[in-house]
A and B are shown apart, each in its own frame.
Chain A
Amino acid sequence: MFELLGIPPQVLLGQLLLGLINGSFYAVLSLGLAVIFGLLNIINFAHGALYMAAAFVAWMLLNYLGIGYWPALILAPLIVGAFGMVLEHTMLQRLYHLDHLYGLLLTFGLALIIQGLFRNYYGVSGLPYQIPEALEGGQNLGFMFLPNYRGWVVVASVLVCFGTWFMIEKTRLGAYLRAGTENPVLVGAFGVNVPLMITLTYGFGVALAGFAGVLAAPIYSVNPTMGEQLIIVVFAVVVIGGMGSIMGAILTGYMLGIVEGLTRVFYPEGSAVVIFVIMAIVLMIKPEGLFGRPT
Chain B
Amino acid sequence: MIRKLAISVSALAAMTAVPAVAQGIDVKLGVLNDRSGTYADLSGEGSVVATRMAVEDFGAADKGLNVEIVSADHQNKPDVGSNVAREWYEADGVDAIVDVPTSSVALAVADITAENNGVFLISGAGSTNLTREQCQPTTVHWTYDTAALANGTGGAVTRAGGEKWFFLTADYAFGHSLEENTMEVVRENGGEVVGSVRHPFPSQDFSSYLLQAQGSGADVIGLANAGSDTVNAIKQASEFGITQAGQSLAALLMFVTDVHSLSPETAQGLQLTEAFYWDQNDATREWSARFEAEMGSKPTMVHVGAYSATMAYLAAVETVGSADDGAAVVAQMREMEIDDPFFGKVEIRGDGRAVHDMYLFEVKTPAESEGEWDLYKQVATISGEDAFLPMLEECDFSKQ
Report A's interface with B, CB cutoff 8 A: 8, 11, 14-15, 18-19, 21-22, 116, 119, 123-128, 130-131, 137-138, 144-145, 147, 149-150, 218-221, 223, 225-226, 229-230, 261, 264-265, 268-269, 271-272
Contact = CB atoms under 8 A, between A and B. Distances in A.
Interface string B173-208: 000000000000000000000000111101111011
Contact of B200 (A18, A126, A149, A272): A272
Interface in B204-238: 204-205, 207-209, 211-212, 214-215, 227-228, 231-232, 235-236
23 contacts: A19-B208, A119-B40, A123-B257, A124-B41, A125-B258, A126-B231, A127-B261, A128-B262, A128-B263, A138-B240, A145-B245, A147-B240, A150-B207, A219-B235, A229-B204, A261-B208, A264-B199, A264-B208, A265-B208, A268-B200, A269-B171, A271-B200, A272-B200
Contacts of B263: 128
Contact of B41 (A116, A123, A131): A123
Nearest to B263: A128
A22 B211 CA distance: 14
B271 interface: no
Contact of A268 (B197, B258, B265, B297): B197
A221 B227 CA distance: 10
A147 B237 CA distance: 10
A18 B235 contact: no
Nearest to B265: A130
Given A124-B37, A219-B235, A229-B202, 14 more contacts: A18-B211, A19-B208, A21-B207, A124-B40, A124-B41, A125-B231, A125-B260, A126-B261, A145-B240, A147-B239, A220-B232, A221-B232, A223-B261, A268-B171
Given A11-B211, A128-B261, A225 B37 contact: yes
B36 interface: yes
Given A125-B41, A147-B241, A11 B261 contact: no
B241 A145 contact: yes
B38 interface: yes
Given A225-B228, A264-B209, A220 B235 contact: yes
Interface in B368-383: none
Contact of A125 (B200, B202, B214, B261): B261
B241 A18 contact: no
A18 B209 CA distance: 10
B204 A230 contact: yes
A11 B236 CA distance: 18
A119 B36 contact: yes
Contacts of A14: 211
A52 to B, nearest CB: 12
Interface of B: 36-42, 171, 197-200, 202-205, 207-209, 211-212, 214-215, 227-228, 231-232, 235-236, 239-241, 245, 257-258, 260-263, 265-266, 297
Nearest to B228: A221
B208 A126 contact: no
Contact of A219 (B41, B236, B258, B297): B236
Contacts of A149: 239
B253 to A, nearest CB: 14
A269 to B, nearest CB: 5
Contacts of B208: 15, 18-19, 261, 264-265
Contacts of B171: 268-269
Nearest to A128: B263
A14 B207 CA distance: 10
A14 B212 CA distance: 10
Contacts of B257: 123, 125
A47 B228 CA distance: 21
A221 B207 contact: no
A271 B211 contact: no
A151 B41 CA distance: 33
Contacts of A126: 228, 231, 261
A120 B103 CA distance: 25
B258 A131 contact: no
Contacts of A226: 204
Given A149-B239, A221-B235, A11 B199 contact: no
A225 B202 CA distance: 10
Given A11-B211, A219-B239, A268 B199 contact: yes
Contacts of A223: 228, 261
Contacts of B37: 124, 225
Nearest to A148: B239
A12 to B, nearest CB: 11
A230 to B, nearest CB: 7
A127 B209 CA distance: 23
A127 B260 CA distance: 8
Contacts of A125: 41-42, 227-228, 231, 257-258, 260-261
Contacts of A11: 211-212, 215
In this complex, the member of A22, A128, A150 whose beta carbon has the largest number of chain B beta carbons within 10 angstroms is: A128
Nearest to A140: B241
Nearest to A124: B40
B197 to A, nearest CB: 5
